[in-house]
Amino acid sequence: MKLQKLPIGIQTFSKIREENYIYIDKTKEALELIENYSYVFLSRPRRFGKSLFLDTLEELFSGNKTLFEGLYIYDKYDFEAHPVIKISWAGDLQTLDGVKERAFDVFRENQEKLEIDCNATSSPSSCFDALIKEASKKYNQKVVILIDEYDKPILDVIEDEKQAKIHREFMKGLYSIIKENDKYIRFVFLTGVSKFSKSSIFSGLNMLTDISLNKKFGDICGYSQNDIETSFKPYLVDVDLAKFKHWYNGYNFLKSAMYNPFDVLQFIGNDFLFDNYWFTTGTPTFLIKLIEKNNYFLPKLSNITLGKQLLDSFDISNIDLEVILYQSGYQCLSADTREKHLYSGVEKSLK
């Protein structure tokens, strides 16, 4: 039997489906989201499948039903097409001018895709506002807004508190445009590594539902043990699965114990060599900068317990390393004890 290709580095849902890459069906969670929520936020570590899930939502709301044949959602959703605005914060974001330039580029890309000319160039906020209104007017449908790594403009300069606050205030103003245009909007979904407190960047988006630690959506990203024992079984015929689990099954968001997709795919693609694949490419630069700047004493972080209140308190002026380590992927959540613990060996990895 010829195995499906491994989607290493591929975050485009249509490419995965059309070119026969293996895909773990997340459309049950997608259907639950779009039928019951309007404004959603999801925090997950980097390289955990957030961008692919976002792209899946884009195809759903674009009405591309054929891509979903054979998946859970195929015969359960009407696939009504909506104009989709997709925002991804890539590029040089070290200065406010750089952030604004990227925002203008993103909105121009969306204008071209939706074949809209907003004629609003005085500021990124005015352009965003016009884009939402014009898209809804042209297509006679409410708009869907998908934002990948909403926090990147802040995290890229998080070690510089003054600059980070400048970026935060800009982002707060930009995202407040969403709230002001509620009547034009069908669905909003934001992803990020960190969850800033509601008193900071989220003050303009206080209607968001945070599903990051909602048990129903605990498996929304990543591979479960069942996925490994079914979909990936043909790829792991001669692998010591107990050892494999010990190495790569260390995440839990109040539901199943999850494997990081990047680790799984890299392990198979590299001839079953056990290695720290995620750490090599997934460790956020901002985390290393903060550890070096603040001279954190890492050994004291073993076996700590964090309460939900602490997890909700993260802000530029209140940077708690334990919270950042959890949000960026260096802590896991025990479904049995509801406690957050550092990954074993993280102190060594960060030295």
Q: For residue range 224-273, what is the model confidence (pLDDT) as tens digits?
A: 999 999 999 999 999 999 999 999 998 888 899 899 999 999 999 999 99
Residue 5 lies in a domain: no
Domain residue limits at 331: 283-350
Mind listing the pLDDT tens digit for each residue in 17-68?
999 999 999 999 999 999 999 999 998 888 889 999 999 999 999 999 999 9
Mind listing the pLDDT tens digit for each residue in 208-220?
899 988 999 999 9
pLDDT exceeding 90 applies to what percent of the chain? 61
Q: Are residues 291 and 154 part of one domain?
A: no
Of 216, 243, 259, which residue constitutes the final position of a domain? Answer: 216
- How far is CA 333 from each of CA 87, 105, 249, 291, rounded to the nearest angstrom? 29, 38, 12, 22
Weakest mean pLDDT among 237-251, 271-285, 331-345: 331-345
CATH of residue 75's domain is 3.40.50
Residue 109 lies in a domain: yes
Q: Are residues 309 and 277 part of one domain?
A: no
Q: Is the dihedral of CA 259, 275, 300, 324 positive or negative?
A: negative
pTM for this model (two decimals):
0.87
Q: Are residues 190 and 163 part of one domain?
A: yes
- How far is CA 238 from each of CA 215, 223, 233, 252, rounded to the nearest angstrom? 33, 19, 10, 26
Weakest mean pLDDT among 77-86, 154-163, 260-269, 297-306: 297-306
Q: What is the mean pLDDT of the chain?
A: 85
Question: What's the mean pLDDT in 149-158?
Answer: 88
Confidence of residue 347 (pLDDT cuts 50, 70, 90): very low
Of 261, 281, 301, which residue constitutes the final position of a domain? Answer: 281
Q: Are residues 189 and 42 part of one domain?
A: yes
Q: Are residues 176 and 138 part of one domain?
A: yes
Weakest mean pLDDT among 73-82, 114-123, 134-143, 177-186: 114-123
Confidence of residue 346 (pLDDT cuts 50, 70, 90): very low
d(CA 350, CA 190): 29
pLDDT of residue 2: 86
Q: Are residues 100 and 20 part of one domain?
A: yes
pLDDT of residue 336: 36
The phi and psi torsions of 85 (rounded to 5 degrees) equal -105, 120
Q: List Cβ neighbours of 318 (8 Å cut-off, separation of 6 or more).
A: 197
Question: What's the mean pLDDT in 299-318?
Answer: 58
Total of domains in the chain: 3
Q: Are residues 334 and 241 part of one domain?
A: no
